[in-house]
Amino acid sequence: MSERDATAVRAFAPRLLAWFERHGRHDLPWQVDRTPYRVWVSEVMLQQTQVQTAIPYFERFVARFPDVRALADAPLDEVLHLWSGLGYYARARNLHAAARAIRDAHRGEFPTAFDDVLALPGIGRSTAGAILAQAHGERHAILDGNVKRVLARWFGIEGWPGETRVADSLWAASEAVTPPDRAADYTQAIMDLGATLCTRARPACVLCPVAGDCVARVSGRQHELPTPKPAKARPRRRVAWLVLRAGDAVLLERRPPTGLWGGLWGFPEFESRDAAVEFALARHGAAELRAWAPLAHAFSHFDLDVEPYVADVTASAAVAEPERWTWYDPRSPSKLGLAAPVAGLLAAVLED
C-alpha cells in the first residue's frame, strides 16, 4: 500500500459518509426490508452486473424465492430460468448450491460467522464481508471492482489488481480506511462512489468528497489507475448449432453443469456442419440442413461465432434421456434456463 498521511486515512471514511448521507443510494430494493438473504442475493447479482440492470432481476427472483428455503427447494431449471439474460450463470448455480448448503448445514438460517459465509459456493472474501457488513453492521473490509478503482486512485496504487502483490496492497488499503462503525453505510457508500462518481471513464472528480487528496487526481492520472489488465489477443471459437423442428417443438439439450452456459438448455452443438449433419441423419432422419444467418456473441475472454443449421423432422418422439433432451415449444414455453443467443434464435424460429 502506498504511504499516506495517517490523518488523511482517518478522514477518508467520515468524508465519504457525509457525502453518502446526501448523495448516496438509500432506496435500492435490497436496502428495503434488509435481510441477510436479500443482501446475499443482491451481492451475487452485482458481482458482474450494474445496479440498474440487476434491479428487475432481483425483484423477480425474491418474489419467486422469498427466502433461503424457497430457493433451496426449487429445481435448478427454474432458478436458471429467472436468471436467463443476466449472464455469468455460474452465479446462479452457486447461489442455488449455497442455498441448499444453508438449508442442510445451517437449518435454513444464513450463517453469521465470516468463515461459514466464506465457505459457501460462489462467495469470496469481499462478498462475505459485504454481506455481513450490510446485513449485520459488522466491520469488514471489501474489495469489489468499484472499490478497487476508488482505492487504487486515492492511494496511488500502481499495477494490475489481478496481480497478487497489487491485490494485497488494495486489501491493506481497504482495511486502513474502513471505519470501526457504520459498516453498512460505509460499504454502500464506497461502492456508490465507485459506481456513480469514480467511474472507469470520465470520473466526476469535481463532485468527489475525497478528491482533494486523491493521488490520481492530484497527479492527473485518473485514466491510468487502476492499471489495466495486460492486453491479450482475444481468441475466437466457431461452432454449429442444430435447430431440429418437429411442428411447433424444437429439440434442446441441457449443457454440462459447468463451463460455458453450464446447466442451461440450448441447441445441440457441434464443432462442424458435418458433425451436425451426421447427428441429424443418424438420430432423427433429417438429411437436409438449411443454413441460417450466423450469430456472434462476445464473452469476457473470447468471441463465439455460431452457425445455425435448421432441419424439419416428422415427429417429436419422446426423448430417451429427459434430463438431457427435451422438445421445447417456444409458443408455450416451460420454465427452463436459456442463454440470450438461444432465446434469440428461438424467437427467430417462431417467425420463420
Catalytic residue IDs: 43
Rounded Cα distance, 105 and 122, in Å: 16
Q: Among all chains, which residue has been given the C-alpha cell 448445514?
A: 105
Enter the DSSP assignment of 20: H
Contact 132, 115 (CB under 8 A): no
The DSSP element (H or E) to which 149 belongs, if any, is: helix 145-155
Secondary structure (DSSP) of 180-237: SS-HHHHHHHHHHHHHHTS-SSS--GGG-TTGGG-HHHHTT-TTT-SPPPPP-PPPEE
State the burial class of residue 216 (Cβ atoms within 10 Å of its Cβ: 0-12, 13-18, 19+).
Answer: buried
Rounded Cα distance, 42 and 68, in Å: 13
Rounded Cα distance, 178 and 141, in Å: 6
